[in-house]
Each structure stands twice: as C-alpha cells, then as structure tokens.
Structure 1
Amino acid sequence: MTPARPPRALLWDVGNVIVRWNPRTLYAKIFKEPADLDRFLSHVGTLDWHSATDRGVTFADNIAALSAQHPHHAESIAAWWDRWLEMFSGAIPETEAVIEALAERDVPQFALTNMSTETWPDVKAMSPVFRHFRAAVVSAEERVIKPEPRIYEIVLERTGLEAADLLFVDDSAANIAAAAALGFHTHHFTDPATLRPAIEKFGLL
C-alpha cells in the first residue's frame, strides 16, 4: 500500500536502529569456542525464546523455564539477565544525529520497540536522543509484538496520527512489511550511512 501523502512524523524502532544490541556480544565472552557459541544461541538462548520477555514475561520466569530444560546451561542462561547490558555496544551516531536534526525542525518523533519493561529504562539511558520522543509503545506493556498488526494500531491510537502520517524506521524486513501493508511510509534500516539520505528523500530534513 502506497501512502497518498508524504509523512510528517517519525516512528523509530530502537534495537539496532538507535542502539546496537546483539546477544553474541555477551556470549562471545562466555563461550570461547565459536562452535559452542553458535550452538548455544541457535538451540538454547534463541531469539524465539527471548521474545517471550518482549510479550511481558519476566526475565526471571523466562530464564527459569529455559534452565529447567537445559540445566547444564543454567549459568549461561542466567547471564542473559545478569549481564544484559553487555549485549549492547553503544548508540548509533548516524541515527542520533538524524533524531537531533529532526528535533531541531520540531518534527514529531515516536518509538515502537519489541522490549521488556524491565530493560526499557536502561536502554533509554544509553542515549540522550530518547528525550525527543513524544510517546513510546513498548511491546511488553501491550502484550503484543511486531510484526503483529495490533501493535501498529496501538501506535496510531497513542499518537493520534494516521498511518500515512508516519515514516517507520526498523531493521527487520518483516516489521517493515507489516507496517507498509497498513499504509505506513517505511525505511528498512540496513546501513546507518543511508539513513539521512532516506529521511531527506521523504522531505523531513
């Protein structure tokens, strides 16, 4: 679906758009052998398993359930929460610069993130640009995650805007496709260097 008018506001994903997040950053410190690291992340500490916290399950409950299935990995599984911040490697400067530039032009900006309410405060503290968001839809608060259509509907309810008013920036192709199908403008974030030109192309900078 192609929106009928240009966007007038930004809707930002957070992980790997504003701040870099990758469980491998932590677990490469725990598993010295690459094969052991790959095996753990593909069969034990998977993104599928982690997504339960994005839906509102606590880290404690999610970790306990997985540890019961894989007791020999209990210590490594516990690190998912105990050493959570070590999965991050800082903010993305190109994105921060664009958010600041948009704020100077008083372009409305919002966030839409698949994230636990337990981790959201620490993530917001990683960059000063989060102060520019007029509202944030956090999946765990809503008990629904991207790319499910309902979470995009919640964005529209929360912002008071229509889909065609918003340019959605996300690093997930599935999330981008879902938003586009609902009438959002979209930019698939794959390279920080292409972000500002894309925003300029939409006429927002």
Structure 2
Amino acid sequence: MARAEAVVFDIGNVLIEWQPERFYDRIMAPADRQRMFAEIDLHGMNEAVDKGAPFQETVYAFAARYPEWEDKIRLWHDNWIDMASPVIPHSVRLLRALKARGVPVFALTNFGDDTYAFAELHYPFLGEFDRAYISGRLKLTKPDPAIYAYLEADCGIAPPALLFADDRAENIAVAEARGWRTHLFDGPEGWAARLVAEGFLNEEDAQ
C-alpha cells in the first residue's frame, strides 16, 4: 500500500464536541428534552443546514411549526456556539503538529456554510486547514460517496494515501470502500497513536 501522504479530519466530535442534547439538558428538564427530541426531528433540521439550507431561516421556519417548542428550537440558531463546544484541545494540537511538519491537512465535514463561517470566528484553527470540504458549500453530505470523490479529485491525492478520522462508522465505511486509510475516532489518544504509527508524528509531537 502507498505511504499515507495527507490527513483528513472530521470536525464534529473530533475537533469540537457536538452534543445538542447535552446543551438542552442544561436549560430544560431532561424529561422535557427527551420528549422534544422524540416528537420532532431536530437532527433532520440540522441536516438540511448541512446540505446548504440557510441557517437562521431554516431553524426559525422549523421552530414556527412547533409552537410548544418554538423558543427552544430557535436556540439551535441563537445559542449554536454553546452546542458546538467545547474544543477537544488534544485534537487541535495534533492538527497543528501535522501542519508544523508540513503534512497536508484537510477537513471533510458535515457543516452548514453559515455555521462554518461563524465557527471560524470562535475557533481560529478551523481556518488552518490546507483545504476544507464543507458539506453546506458543496451541497453534498457524508456518507454520500460523491463528497469523498470530490475531495479526491480536488486534492489529487490517491485514496490509499489519505488517512481519515471520523466519529461515525457509516462515514468511515464509505471511505474504506474507496480505499482510504481510516480511523474511527473515539478520543484523541487513539488518534494520536495512529498518527505516530503512520509516521506522521513522533511521540513527543503527538502529546
């Protein structure tokens, strides 16, 4: 197999924690939160944004359909940065260590165009990728094979030379089927060890 040449990061739950349920459990009774998420497809609403729908307009229109929950749903927009937090510091250090060594580093993420631009203001490291493949800009989302094919064609690096970390097994499965190296992310320590094993970083860099 060809040597790995570039590293591809997912963002949600790899570089930034993304747990909307946890946010809502802080501001409402957990039982009410569970009922709200059971009754309405908030993750489906978010997926529309990831596919390119305008952020505020999409959330507010969705909220208006559910008067009982309207004020809470609007928080998906109004307090979004509180959901997309905190940063996973060790993962950010790994990203920057790779950059310091001259390794090409890409993002491949399901993220709205508006939300990514907003997140960059709070998390400067999001602007440090050599290339960022944002679903909301491409109108393609993982695990659609088309977004992986787009990355391959754009960067010009052969699939076996790409190492991809993502926290979702279905996203990893498509990358594997295309010949990518993959790592199912369940914490930065395992990811650091994989980067060392692939020869991208040494033990000191990976701390």
Could you say whether these structures have the same fold, taking a TM-score greater than 0.5 normalized by the shorter chain as the test? yes
Which residue type is aligned with residue 3 of structure 2? P
CA distance in 1, matches of 2:128, 2:55: 28
Say if 1:75 and 1:127 are closer, same or farther in 2 by CA, change over 3 A.
closer
Task: Give, in whole Å, the separation in 1 of the partners of 2:46 and 2:90.
Answer: 28
Give the CA deviation at 1:127.
3.4
Q: Tell me how far 1:38 sits from its aligned partner.
A: 1.3
Residue ranges of structure 1 left out of the alignment (5+ in a row): none
Is 1:50 matched up with 2:46?
yes
CA contact (8 A) 1:135 1:158 kept: no
CA distance in 2 between partners of 1:66 and 1:100 (Å): 38
Distance 1:173 1:60, change over 3 A: same
- More deviation, 107-116/64-73: 64-73
Q: TM-score, normalised by structure 2?
A: 0.90
Task: Report the aligned-residue RMSD.
Answer: 1.6
Deviation at 1:42, TM superposition (A): 3.1
Does the 8 Å contact 1:12/1:109 carry over to 2? yes
Letter in 2 for 1:183: G
Contact 1:171 1:188 in 2 (8 A): yes
Deviations along 1:64-115, whole A, 9 cap, x unmatched? 4423432221111111101111103221111112112111210110111101
Contact 1:26/1:83 (8 A) holds in 2:
no
Selected match of 2:10 from 9, 13, 28: 13
User: Given that residues 11 and 167 in structure 1 are in contact (C-alpha distance below 8 angstroms), is that contact kept between their aligned partners in structure 2?
Assistant: yes
Q: Which has the higher contact order (CA 8 A, sep 6+)?
A: 1
Distance 2:93 2:57 in 1: 38
What is aligned with 1:70?
66
Deviation sequence 1:145-204 (CA, Å, 0-9, x none) = 000000001111221212112101111111011111111110110122211111111121
Is 1:108 the equivalent of 2:107?
Answer: no
**Which range moved further: 127-136 or 180-189?**
127-136
Which residue does 1:92 correspond to in 2?
88
Partners of 1:57 and 1:97 lie apart in 2 by 32
Runs (4 or more) in structure 1 with deviation over 6 Å come to none
CA contact (8 A) 1:25 1:86 kept: no
| Correspondence 1:36-47 to 2 at 5 A | 36-47=32-43
Please, which moves more after superposition, 85-94 or 55-64? Answer: 55-64
C-alpha distance 128-79 of structure 1, shift in aligned 2 (>3 A): closer
C-alpha separation in 1, matches of 2:166 and 2:84: 17
Q: Among residues 134, 152, 173, which one is paired with 1:156 in the alignment? A: 152
In structure 2, the residue matched to 1:27 is 24
Once residues 144 and 132 of structure 1 are traced to their aligned partners in structure 2, the CA distance between those partners, rounded to angstroms, is 22
> SS state of the match for residue 204, structure 1?
coil
Q: Secondary structure of the equivalent of 1:11?
A: strand
Pairing of 1:99-178 with structure 2 (within 5 A): 99-178=95-174
Which sits farther off after the overlay, 132-141 or 21-30? Answer: 21-30
- 3-state SS of the aligned residue for 1:167? strand
